[in-house]
Chains A and B, each alone.
Chain A
Amino acid sequence: MLEARGVTVRFGGLVAVNALDLDVPDRGIFALVGPNGAGKTTLINALSRVCPVAGGTVRLGDVDVLSLPPHAAVSAGIARSFQRAELFPSLTVLENLLVGLHSTMQTGLSGALMTPASRTEEQAARARAERVLRDLDLWEVRNAAPADMPYGHQKLLDVARALVSEPALLLLDEPFAGLTEAEAPRLLACIRAAGERCAVLMIEHHFELLEGIAQRMTVMDFGQKVSEGTPASMRTDPEVIRCYLGTGRHRTAAASAC
């Protein structure tokens, strides 16, 4: 159970996320929606400790998330994907996934000596990564370089890399953006399955898609929560209509830069 209270993120004078409260239960799929610059990505960045937070508290179970260093978010159970797939181009597809398992493993420099302990651990990790690759139909390309794959596959891999550590909270930043008709169902099935095991908080614009899978939607605008409810109730919500139809206000791109 994630409890965020009064989360505030500032960039200079700009308040990107303003005293936001958010509760995410242990299981299920939850969506963050809102116009560009509403602070959705910034919120994900704050929860995953990528960007510094000016105020508020975030608890995941017993853990005070905001007191963790950036790399400790995964061990605390928070994994994430990126809006523009941030893969590791110099590693293969399989190795990218194995980096996702970094904090679940112990092997240090002894890996160079091929000690029995490190070998066992490596094999177990590979088996785990390979299962995820098969689920996502990326098995065939496991030894390819990520850059050689179509963009949709890169997005899939980005999600897979977050999934592989079996987090308690999975943060997905527009996972479907850039996917083709053929690729979307695979990812959808995968996210559905993840929602059975853990909490998935995803940014998504595609309303029809969310209606099918999301238990709850949180609408953000100008860094604040403006509305919250089931996708069905959101359809008629005046705030949602206003945000989605847009009222022609100009926004700075800076808010989505972090």
Chain B
Amino acid sequence: MQRRLVIAILVACAVLPIAFQALGQRQVYWLFVISEFYVFAIVAISLDLLMGRSGQISLGQSGFVALGAYTAAILNQRFNVDLPLGMLAGAATAAVASLVLGFPATRLRGHYLGIVTLGFGIAIDQIALKWDALTGGDQGIHLHRPALFGVDAGTPVRMYYVALVALVVAVLLVRGLTQTRIGRAFAAIKDSEVAAAAMGVPVARTKVLAFIVSAFLAGAAGGIYAFLAGFVAPEDFGIESSLLFFAMVVIGGMGSIPGAIGGAVVVDAVKNAAATVSGLSLALLGGMIVLVVLFFPGGLKGLLRTRRIRRERRPAPKGVVRQDA
């Protein structure tokens, strides 16, 4: 994507709270919605790394988010652990869980993994609800006011910047990974396991690694979410939210970071706009997924790219000599 566009978007995101300040009243609510969106976008990127980049389906991504969020919340509530450490602990917990889950799962053919991850998502939800001594059951857990290296971060504006910085860091990390050896190995096992193995890529180990990295990122996002919302409860992490993350990746165009973020924008917008009629957002997103797979295999990202190519390739109108180029 063009560098200038990226910088423009970043600057806009950075000055947004100042703009809101000028508008007054509802700013706290909207700042929270957008901060929450940044966290969701991290999850979308994590799932895109697993599904879009390495071709392994996960229908339980919110299970990893939940593990990260609960770990951070429990550590914060009991031991007063702060944001950075809580986030890392959440990420580590999710990564360990993915190892337990991913190891047998990667020995499986094709799309068993989708089913196993679906079960994982359901199980985490059930356990969070049942094990109330640890998780507070359906009452959830309230966190202390977040701080960052001793500095209070509990205001909406400060948490907004925490979420924004986290998203930027996640983008840079995933971008770095996809442009180096391991990221290429992820893509290779997606495209052809046989050829990947023939090129020296250990297929099973690489699949597990993709799983771990994805879970780590999703867990980190969960940790941040816990501090952002100040409260975690099982209903935030049901199977529905796994489906939303799944929709973000597919609609945005698999295997692309800007695609995942764009998909997150679309899905978040549809979810919020269609919340009044039950079933509407589910039907809209499902319909969009079907349309994308059938007609726009590149998703949003592919759509933009084909249009750009078409524009570039369009011949000059008759009788007009092109001056540019």
> CB atoms of A and B under 8 A apart anywhere in the complex?
yes
Contacts A75-B200, A111-B179 given; does A102 touch B185 at CB 8 Å:
yes
How far, in Å, is A145 (CB) from chain B's closest CB?
11
Give the contacting residue for A105; candidates B181, B191, B194; CB below 8 A. Answer: B181
Q: Can you sample 13 A-B contacts with CB below 8 Å?
A: A48-B198, A50-B197, A50-B198, A70-B197, A74-B199, A79-B198, A80-B198, A91-B188, A98-B181, A100-B200, A109-B177, A122-B180, A165-B199
Segment with Cβ contacts to B, from A11-19, A55-63, A82-90, A208-216: A82-90
A71: chain B residues within 8 A (beta carbon):
196-197, 200-203
Q: Is the CB of B194 within 8 A of A50?
A: yes
Instruction: Indicate if B144 sits at the interface (CB-CB under 8 A).
Output: no
How far, in Å, is B51 (CB) from chain A's closest CB?
12
Q: Is the CB of A165 within 8 A of B182?
A: no
Give the contacting residue for B185; candidates A72, A86, A99, A161; CB below 8 A. Answer: A99
A95: chain B residues within 8 A (beta carbon):
184, 187
Count, chain A residues at interface, CB 8 A? 38
Give the contacting residue for A111; candidates B180, B190, B201; CB below 8 A. Answer: B180
| 5 nearest A-B pairs in the assembled complex, by CB-CB distance | A111-B180, A103-B200, A74-B200, A86-B195, A112-B177
Interface centre among A49, A73, A86, A87 (most CB of B within 10 A): A86
How far, in Å, is A164 (CB) from chain B's closest CB?
9
Q: Is the CB of A112 within 8 A of B174?
A: yes
Contacts A91-B184, A102-B185 given; does A86 touch B255 at CB 8 Å:
no
How far, in Å, is B204 (CB) from chain A's closest CB?
9
Give the contacting residue for B199; candidates A89, A100, A108, A114; CB below 8 A. Answer: A100
Instruction: Indicate if B110 sits at the interface (CB-CB under 8 A).
Output: no
Contacts A80-B198, A86-B195, A89-B191 given; does A113 touch B173 at CB 8 Å:
yes
Alpha-carbon gap, A128 to B239, bound state (A): 47
Q: Is the CB of B180 within 8 A of A88?
A: no
Give the contacting residue for B183; candidates A82, A103, A111; CB below 8 A. Answer: A111
Instruction: Indicate if A118 sits at the interface (CB-CB under 8 A).
Output: yes
Give the contacting residue for B181; candidates A72, A87, A88, A111; CB below 8 A. Answer: A111
Give the contacting residue for A88; candidates B179, B195, B197; CB below 8 A. Answer: B195
How far, in Å, is B288 (CB) from chain A's closest CB?
22
Alpha-carbon gap, A108 to B191, bound state (A): 20
How far, in Å, is A256 (CB) from chain B's closest CB?
15
Complex: chain B residue closest to A51, CB-CB: B194
Alpha-carbon gap, A223 to B134, bound state (A): 64
Instruction: Indicate if B104 sits at the interface (CB-CB under 8 A).
Output: no
Alpha-carbon gap, A95 to B53, bound state (A): 14
